[in-house]
């Protein structure tokens, strides 16, 4: 990762790594230990432009703590509220029917009509 960031130079601000549903693996998966050791190694190599985010329900915190007691210190906890209908979009993957697009096509859909947006 350090080499990748060095090669990219000032073309990027950094790398964002997101792990969604991080609460799903068992405590035995040692996610807390992994994130603690991973961030320590990045720091030792001077790789200071990596953002690590975990998303999960409240069961995530005890699992991290059980795996590595100090793993929670590397994170800033944020509580995300549900989006309002006007703050979200619907994305739908549909099979290719016309033959000229890739096998799956992503469409942004209008809120209620479910018609593809132009």
Q: Report if pTM > 0.75.
A: no
Co-location of 45 and 66 in the same domain:
yes
Output the DSSP codes for 27-72.
GGG-HHHHHHHHHHHHHHTT---EEEEE---TTHHHHHHHH-TTGG
Co-location of 52 and 92 in the same domain:
no
Assess contact for 27 and 63: CB atoms under 8 A.
yes
Domain housing 94: 83-118
pLDDT digits (tens, 9 = 90+) for 41-98: 989 988 888 889 999 888 899 999 999 999 999 998 888 888 787 777 666 655 555 5
Going from the C-alpha of 45 to that of each of 28, 31, 68, 98, the distances in angstroms are: 28, 21, 22, 50
Co-location of 70 and 103 in the same domain:
no
Co-location of 53 and 97 in the same domain:
no
**Where do we find the tokens 């090669």?**
7
Co-location of 93 and 35 in the same domain:
no
Co-location of 90 and 117 in the same domain:
yes
Q: Number of folded domains in the chain?
A: 2
């Amino acid at each position: 990762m350090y080499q990748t960031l060095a090669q990219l130079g000032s073309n990027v601000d950094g790398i964002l790594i997101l792990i969604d549903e991080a609460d799903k693996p068992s405590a035995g998966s040692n996610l807390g230990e992994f994130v603690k050791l991973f961030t320590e190694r990045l720091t030792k190599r001077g790789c200071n432009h990596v953002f690590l985010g975990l998303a999960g329900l409240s069961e995530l915190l005890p699992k991290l703590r059980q795996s590595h007691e100090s793993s929670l210190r590397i994170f800033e906890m944020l509580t995300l509220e549900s989006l309002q209908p006007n703050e979200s979009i619907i994305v739908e993957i549909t099979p290719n029917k016309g033959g000229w697009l890739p096998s799956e096509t992503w469409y942004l859909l209008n809120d209620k009509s479910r018609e593809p947006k132009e």
